Structure 1
Amino acid sequence: MSTLAYDGTAMLGRQLRRTRNNPGLIVLTQTMPVTMLLFFGYVFGSALAMPGGEYRSFLVPGLLVATAANGIMTGMFQAAQDTHRGVMDRFRTMPMSRAAVPLGQAGADLVVTAAGTVPFLLVGLALGWRIEGSTFEAVGAFGLLLLFRFATTWIGIFLGLLTRNEEAAGQLGGATFLLPLLSNAYIPTEGLPGWLRVVAEWNPISAMSTALRDLFGNAPVPQGAAWPVAHPVAGSLVWCAVLLAVFAPAAVHRYANGER
């Protein structure tokens, strides 16, 4: 086994044990998406032109993507916490691959996210959401969702290593709540003003939400949208590739060089 694979597996195990020993975080990450589904599904659903059941089918994929985008917040906080407490400095003194620590964190987050998606989907099914597409398309949708979570986690790790402070990371991470609001995760963008619609449709969350709705068979691809939304699967893959290409090397470089 290569050094990176061996060290990365060790760091992944460390992150999973860390998550297991923090039950409050597990409860929060499990209950928050479900709470938002119930709130948006019934409160917003009654205020939109869509029938309630149709809106909940529209909403479930969007909330899945919004939850995946929270990888920025969790990745940032955990990386900043380890840096602030000196854990990263101790890891740097050990003979291991420089990419192992951030890779282990990103990999563990992916495992936790995959497990945490199950109760959310069960609640969605109980509320009337259904997968209308083929099994192959549904598997592709889940794979795309996890790829997006993996990409956003690398953004968070880089920002956490950059801030080096738990409190600052927590405050900055809270601002990521705005990202899904500037997308089509919760509402269609067709009725937005021209400039705001452009901003929303070039938000990676919009391409991802549209891709999941298309693959699940929950809503058609909107006409006249920006390229990432008009071609949602391709647009989502491009966004994920760009985010990984930029932030994964940046995070590894930042970890390897510490404060320099």
Structure 2
Amino acid sequence: MPDSPIVPAGEQRRRIRDAFAAAAEHYDHHAEVQRAIVADLLGWVSQSAPAGLPTLDAGCGTGYASAALQTDDAQVIGLDLADTMARRALQRGELGIVGDLERLPLRSASVGRYWSSLAWQWCNADTAAAEAARVLAPGGVLQVATLGPDTLRELRAVFAEIDSAEHVRRFQPPEAVQAALIRAGFHSVRFARRVQAGFAPDFASLLRDIRGVGAHTLGDSRRRGMLGRHAWRRLCDAYEIHREAAGLPARYDVLMFEAIR
């Protein structure tokens, strides 16, 4: 019997939704890296959106970016796959609605700015880019931070010593995301790549932080059954070789894009 059964695409979307819905209550407590990536994207982008049109915070989470995205003449629409996340964004001042980045429940050409931090990695890039292009007005700006293939590479390496299952999701390279944007009709595409790291005192805490922000959903395959005590000990010991003064690192390969519709 194989260790890594294939998970259908529809089941993957349900799992992603459920993981983030369950994480909403304690997301902010674990989201230090995610907040740093929002700050990176805010500091890097250069384009202003057309006046008078709303900003879409696509994959808004708890709405942490709300205050920074708000302007005097533009409402912020917070959209998330998980209803519990959308409700928290509503409490932070966004118009919180439930929706999928691959099927946006918005009119065509209805927003001036499409902002998304750490949501595209859970989507098909071509589908997300096409939907972003559809809802943006001509001249509208897209600003996206997503995760690249080197994300959590240390974690992937130590799990590979245990079995062949996909314990760490694989994300697309920047070339694939940029190509998706161009196919969707975007131009003036800018790109930057950064590394953000979080640190934990031990391996269990590191995994707890990843699960705490809902980012533990697997890729196309999964392991059958639980890890045994011996396998867990091997994982803890193997990860210790990566320890730094600040603790055990969880590194995120951050891809940032800006483009014009």
Give TM-score, length-normalised by structure 1: 0.26
Structure with the higher strand share, 1 or 2: 2
Structure with the higher helix share, 1 or 2: 1
